[in-house]
Amino acid sequence: MSVSEFSLIEKYFSQQRYSRDDVLSGIGDDGAITHVPENMRLITTVDSLVEGCHFTSDTSPYDVGFKAVAVNLSDIAAMGGEPCWATLALTLPQADTKWLSEFSKGLFTLLNKYRVQLIGGDTTRGPLTITIQINGLVPEGKALARHSARPGDLIYVTGSLGDAGLGLLVSEGKRHLGQQHADYVSEKFLRHVPRIEQGIVLRDIATAAIDVSDGLLSDLGHILDASQVGAKIIVDHLPLSDAVTHALTHAPTHALKTETVETNSWDLVLSSGEDYELCFTVPANKRSKLEEVMAQFTCPVTCIGEIQIERELQCVLSTGEKVQPARSGYDHFGS
Ligand SMILES: [Mg+2]
């Protein structure tokens, strides 16, 4: 990139920046300096979005900027952290002012909403790639982890599952829904809301947590692996939006024989990724406390099963009938 291109790019990222008191030195030096209070611990997450891999070339730059921040915030949420500072490494084929303007709007919409300051960045020329690192704070000893779920704990998820997976199918033209449902799942696919506030509340209640980025079975599987336990999921207790319920009960005729939900169609809910909801475990004796504190949020939480000693992940209907997912997305217990 030429000097003039660099200053052009800098323009888009300096105008909209949120300012925090704990940033001692932000953009403009070789590195940023921030203040970490003595009783707090630093959480660091990083994620890259690559055009053609994580988003298509016709995705709006606003949505690319929004999503690049949202996936990182979701990881901070899953740790029970409060997001504070971000850095951005941007690889661009050329300095396209219209693209930069829209991308930076999407990026700062979320950064500013959560009072996160952009404290550093780097720009290079190459295939479009966005890498964002976010740092957050959590009180000492309070971070949520994957390794501490215990047999008997109840398993919960925030929000609803399968929306982003359905949104992807709709955007690819593989499923057709009415306009209202299509708009809803597209919004969930491109602009999911990170569950930061819920993660903070869960610090004192949950035994383990993860964000659902790769699909429920896969991500819950990470908790089970790390905690050396198993789980039973009641599949028809999984929280579904109206759009996903509609898609499951009106599946293409080759997939469904009747209007009832057939086993394989549960894959949309069990195995599709990018919902970025929180999946977490709670001791049974904290159930009422959890439901009490979660009532302050419009986003629901739903109990979907229980942690077990036996190291397997069972999917059953509430009738007791077993569900065998076609795509488990889950092979952590392999030898
Ligand atoms: Mg994660």
Those residues with Cβ within 8 angstroms of residue 333's Cβ, 6 or more apart along the chain or in another chain = 221, 224, 225, 311, 312, 313
- Residue 285 Cα to ligand 1 midpoint, Å, equals 27
- Residue 4 Cα to ligand 1 midpoint, Å, equals 37
d(CA 125, CA 147) in angstroms, rounded, equals 40
- Residue 319 Cα to ligand 1 midpoint, Å, equals 32
Which residues on adjacent β-strands are paired with residue 23? 34
> What would the CATH number be for the domain defined by 154-316?
3.90.650.10
Tens digit of each residue's pLDDT (9 = 90 or more) over 239-258: 999 999 999 887 664 444 33
- Residue 78 Cα to ligand 1 midpoint, Å, equals 7
- Residue 79 Cα to ligand 1 midpoint, Å, equals 9
d(CA 282, CA 223) in angstroms, rounded, equals 13
In the chain, list all ranges with CATH 3.30.1330.10: 3-139
In the chain, list all ranges with CATH 3.90.650.10: 154-316
- Residue 199 Cα to ligand 1 midpoint, Å, equals 12
Tens digit of each residue's pLDDT (9 = 90 or more) over 291-325: 999 999 999 999 999 999 999 999 999 999 999 88
Using DSSP's 3-state secondary structure scheme, residue 78 falls into: helix
Tens digit of each residue's pLDDT (9 = 90 or more) over 89-118: 999 998 889 999 999 999 999 999 999 999
Tens digit of each residue's pLDDT (9 = 90 or more) over 271-286: 999 999 999 999 999 9
Q: Is a pLDDT exceeding 50 seen at residue 262?
A: no
Tens digit of each residue's pLDDT (9 = 90 or more) over 133-190: 999 999 999 999 999 999 999 999 999 999 999 999 998 888 889 999 999 999 999 9
d(CA 146, CA 79) in angstroms, rounded, equals 9
- Residue 302 Cα to ligand 1 midpoint, Å, equals 20
Is the domain defined by 3-139 classed in CATH 2.40.37.10? no
Q: Is a pLDDT exceeding 50 seen at residue 71?
A: yes
